[in-house]
Chains A and B, each alone.
Chain A
Amino acid sequence: MQTSLPSSSPVIPQSATKEHCDHQVDCLKMIQLILDGEATEQQVAKLKIDLESCQPCIKMYHLEREVKELLAKRMEKRCCPDELVATIKSRILSFS
């Protein structure tokens, strides 16, 4: 179960030359695979090359990572109410 972004995330350079990407949807899918920790090493290597030159891909990468982090870290996490835990435990005991 992966809980954090893969350590193999490509390093994003500050400047890139290509301002238009013809494969944005495919690149986006690849970026998601990588951030989800589901990409192969070859896929990571390929994207790393893309990210060295393609401005739109760099933007997409940052956006996807930001959204993923937001979901992982900034959503309110509730605790299961104590009464519910107690109810479940007492119901279980009455089973045997």
Chain B
Amino acid sequence: MSDTPTRDDRPAGADQMLPIDGNPAEQPQADTPARGYTDEQKYRIFNKEFMPHIDSMYNFAFRLTTDEDDANDLVQDTYLKAFRFISSFEQGTNAKAWLFRILKNSFINDYRKKSKEPAKVDYQDVETTYNSEDAETEHTVDLRAESVSDLIGDEVATALNSLPVDFRTVIILCDIEGFTYEEMAKILDIPIGTVRSRLHRARNLLKEKLRDYASSMGYKEESDE
């Protein structure tokens, strides 16, 4: 695929390396297999495989930062990083997951601290809370499908935005972007079991928010709380 490598010789085993396992956002040089793409190949990959995902990337960035300027900066940083470390991407593999992983890492490293949102509860705390015994005896949120179907997009977006960012993230990746659990595990650097349980808790939280909306709109819930 690369007859005229312009940068590095490709290390042995580079082809076996899953591109998503390279970690351009954090340690680009360390254990990233370099592919010797020519400049022409780089631009072609960038335009054909990376740019088609830019709307999804922008939406992801906006939902993470909840701020248009931050979303702009985050998407730009992510795409520049993606180009700079394009040699760790294997052509024809899952570019969307690869890009989402860079964006998510950039968000954690560069944006979370300066986020304009009020200080968020760290997910460890939240996860511990929801991991407790109480959480297991809980919790199927008393909300009816019919009430949900009357909610509009804005209300859902507000409910989603009110969730701690790690819970928001799994819902965005799974329900809005349609990633599989396996892809989410790679994007988020967590085990699949954690994806599953975090998603479960995130959905319970979201349904609680939606129930609050539904009841504030006057739908009668058969709640025995």
Contacts and interface: CB of A to CB of B under 8 A. Distances in A.
Contacts of B59: 77-78
Interface of B: 39, 42-43, 46, 51, 54-55, 57-59, 62, 72, 75-76, 79-80, 83-84, 96, 136, 138-140, 143-145, 148-149, 151-154, 156-157, 160, 171, 174-176, 178-181, 183, 196, 199-200, 203, 206-207, 210
A92 B39 CA distance: 11
Interface residues of A, number: 41
A49 interface: no
Nearest to A62: B145
26 contacts: A2-B180, A3-B178, A29-B196, A38-B196, A62-B145, A63-B143, A63-B144, A63-B145, A63-B148, A64-B203, A68-B175, A70-B149, A72-B175, A72-B178, A75-B153, A75-B156, A76-B153, A77-B55, A78-B55, A78-B58, A79-B55, A79-B58, A84-B75, A92-B80, A92-B83, A95-B83
Contacts of A77: 55, 59
Contacts of B199: 32, 36
A66 B72 contact: no
A25 B138 contact: yes
Interface of A: 1-3, 24-25, 28-29, 32-33, 36-38, 56, 59-60, 62-68, 70-72, 74-81, 84-85, 87-88, 91-92, 95-96
B207 A67 contact: yes
Contact of A1 (B148, B149, B176, B180): B180
Contacts of B144: 59, 63
Given A70-B151, A88-B76, 5 more contacts: A25-B139, A29-B196, A70-B149, A76-B157, A92-B46
Tell me the interface secondary structure of chain B in the complex.
Answer: helix
Contacts of A75: 153, 156-157, 160, 176
B155 to A, nearest CB: 9
A65 B145 contact: yes
Contact of A74 (B62, B139, B152): B152
A85 B39 contact: no
A75 B58 CA distance: 14
A33 B83 CA distance: 36
Given A36-B181, A74-B153, A95-B83, A59 B76 contact: no
Contacts of A63: 143-145, 148, 207
A55 B134 CA distance: 24
Contacts of B83: 92, 95
A85 B52 CA distance: 11
Given A32-B200, A95-B83, A70 B156 contact: yes
Contacts of B75: 80, 84, 88
A60 B145 CA distance: 8
Contacts of A3: 178
